[in-house]
Structure 1
Amino acid sequence: MQGLHALVVEDDPDIASVIEETLAAAGFEVTCAADGRAAVEAARSRPPDLVTLDITLPQMDGIEVLRHLRETNDCYVVIVSARTDEIDRLVGLEVGGDDYIVKPFSPRELRARVAALFRRPRGSVGPDGSSTEPDRPAGSEPDRSADTRSAVIDCGAGLLVDADRREVQIDGKTLDLTRIEYEILAHLAERLGTVCTREEMVSAIWNSPLVHDHHLVDVHVANLRAKVSRHSDRSWLRTIRGIGYRLDRA
């Protein structure tokens, strides 16, 4: 993560200092902003690769900051907040947060979660807000040498998961999914008809032994279900009570 830019948005100077030191030790160049408007301006003047974002901020709250960020930037966003209510998690993740850490937190956990995010493929957002794939040489094709999976997984009834384009379509319409929502659906689609436990999904998607909040899976699945339901009344995603989830062919 050497040379990457992190923006720390936090109005508590002590917490901001801890986050700044943790990210700097991981190799980031760190900029700090103590209020929402300053954060938006900082992101415009130097687009970040990572943002840690408090929700309760002066001038402009963190959710509004996140909305502004997502208009032009697909950077990773880790919400770092003292709010523990489910609605706060739902709103933050729905608007475009990639992860949610509750204060107080350990610097080791923050560093592990950030490292897990950067191990996943990352696209970018153009001026029109559309997603693009990670850069690769012009004219080249995606490298499938280490991946024998079919590029497109047909889940029936018009639901297609395209692994190369990292897109999900229902009846030809592309769903507007966050990275984690896509990862969850792709993980289940690759195991069509098989029950996946929350523990397995956390391990595969967050790829960190320190990410132990299985409730994160439920929050992202709820968001995913809501987006799917806007395009179809079909039901592919099943909850297996006390265990996890399964994607069935409709």
Structure 2
Amino acid sequence: MPRKILIVDDDAHIRQLLAFALEKAGLQTADAADGQAGLEAAATGKPDLVILDINMPKMDGLEVCRRLRRLGDTPILFLSSRDEEIDRVVGIELGADDYVVKPFSPREVVARVLTILRRTRPKADLPEQSRMRHGRLSLDLDGWQARWQDRDVALTVTEFSILRTLASAPGRIFSRDAIIDHLHGPGFAITDRTIDSHVRNLRQKFEAAGCLDLIETRPGIGYRLGSCDGPAV
């Protein structure tokens, strides 16, 4: 079955433009014209990804994102006419997987959507490759589930992908550019602050589960997986 994308934007032209581009790429689409309608459509339609404008009537995209994150981990791609870095960071900290600034190329949006969807579709790995373990951390690659000790930790698609990248080589220090390349491929335009925000979210979620040493920062170099073996708190 084609995967379904929900487009939530108060601009009818943008909804039509994106729907045409996404359907041309083989995806199904649904749309909503304001935040409240978008939240209801997401609850009933169960899309595989939500494209979410920030500035909308009735309920803005940031609040929609907050509420969607209480319900589950459906990937979210933000659209915004605001190009301030703080807006990008806030969006990521709320749980968005990616962020595109208006005006945008429909081709770029489709590329980012397909990249996120590829990360949610399990690869045909060998059985022994379907799970990663490091210290008390375990990652179920097929189920996209992270656990520390005996506690499930709910992650967004991008957060899980970053953690999987670090866990693939626990002793390696990954630069921010290397992490971006693993997520999206070479040459993809994402700021370092976006990666920092995802890493901060990961740390906060695992600290809440009792893991205080999930990711190490090497100043001026990048990140690597911590020992993930500290005592629960």
TM range (shorter): 0.7 to 0.9
- CA distance, structure 2, for counterparts of residue 221 and residue 67 of structure 1: 18
Matched ranges for 1:132-143 at <5 A: none
Matched ranges for 1:165-180 at <5 A: 165-180=143-158
CA 1:33–1:229 in 2, change beyond 3 Å: closer, same or farther?
same
Whichever residue aligns with residue 134 of structure 2, its letter is D
* Matched residue SS, 2:79: strand
Whichever residue aligns with residue 151 of structure 2, its letter is K
CA 1:74–1:239 in 2, change beyond 3 Å: closer, same or farther?
closer
| Structure 1 residue 188 displacement after superposition | 0.6
Matched ranges for 1:99-118 at <5 A: 99-118=98-117
1:20 equivalent to 2:15? Answer no
Q: Which segments of 5 or more consecutive residues in structure 1 lack a partner in the other structure?
A: 123-133, 135-141
- CA distance, structure 2, for counterparts of residue 42 and residue 94 of structure 1: 23
> Is the contact between residue 168 and residue 174 of structure 1 (CA under 8 Å) also seen in structure 2?
yes
Corresponding position of 1:196? 174
Whichever residue aligns with residue 105 of structure 1, its letter is F
**More divergent stretch after superposition (38-47 vs 49-58):** 38-47
- CA distance, structure 2, for counterparts of residue 180 and residue 203 of structure 1: 13
* Matched residue SS, 1:17: helix
1:61 equivalent to 2:60? Answer yes
> Is the contact between residue 40 and residue 65 of structure 1 (CA under 8 Å) also seen in structure 2?
yes
> Is the contact between residue 79 and residue 101 of structure 2 (CA under 8 Å) also seen in structure 1?
yes
- CA distance, structure 2, for counterparts of residue 168 and residue 42 of structure 1: 28
* Percentage identity across paired residues of the two chains: 39
The number of residue pairs the alignment matches comes to 227
- CA distance, structure 2, for counterparts of residue 6 and residue 168 of structure 1: 25
**More divergent stretch after superposition (68-77 vs 219-228):** 68-77
> Is the contact between residue 116 and residue 157 of structure 2 (CA under 8 Å) also seen in structure 1?
no
Equivalent of residue 164 in structure 2, options 186, 203, 208 = 186
| Structure 1 residue 201 displacement after superposition | 1.3
Whichever residue aligns with residue 225 of structure 2, its letter is L
- CA distance, structure 2, for counterparts of residue 166 and residue 47 of structure 1: 17
- CA distance, structure 2, for counterparts of residue 166 and residue 4 of structure 1: 17
Equivalent of residue 189 in structure 2, options 190, 212, 226 = 212
> TM (normalized to structure 2)?
0.82
> Is the contact between residue 47 and residue 73 of structure 1 (CA under 8 Å) also seen in structure 2?
no
CA 1:235–1:73 in 2, change beyond 3 Å: closer, same or farther?
closer
Q: Which segments of 5 or more consecutive residues in structure 2 lack a partner in the other structure?
A: none
Q: Which deviations, in whole Å up to 9, do the C-alpha atoms of 1:9-49 show, x marking residues without a partner?
A: 11123333332222122123333222112212333443322
Matched ranges for 1:4-15 at <5 A: 4-15=3-14
> TM (normalized to structure 1)?
0.77
- CA distance, structure 1, for counterparts of residue 183 and residue 26 of structure 2: 23
| Structure 1 residue 233 displacement after superposition | 6.4
**More divergent stretch after superposition (232-241 vs 109-118):** 232-241
**More divergent stretch after superposition (87-96 vs 178-187):** 87-96
CA 1:247–1:72 in 2, change beyond 3 Å: closer, same or farther?
closer
| Structure 1 residue 110 displacement after superposition | 0.9
| Structure 1 residue 51 displacement after superposition | 1.6
- Superposition RMSD in Å: 2.7
CA 1:214–1:88 in 2, change beyond 3 Å: closer, same or farther?
closer
* Matched residue SS, 1:230: helix
| Structure 1 residue 169 displacement after superposition | 2.8
> Is the contact between residue 73 and residue 157 of structure 2 (CA under 8 Å) also seen in structure 1?
no
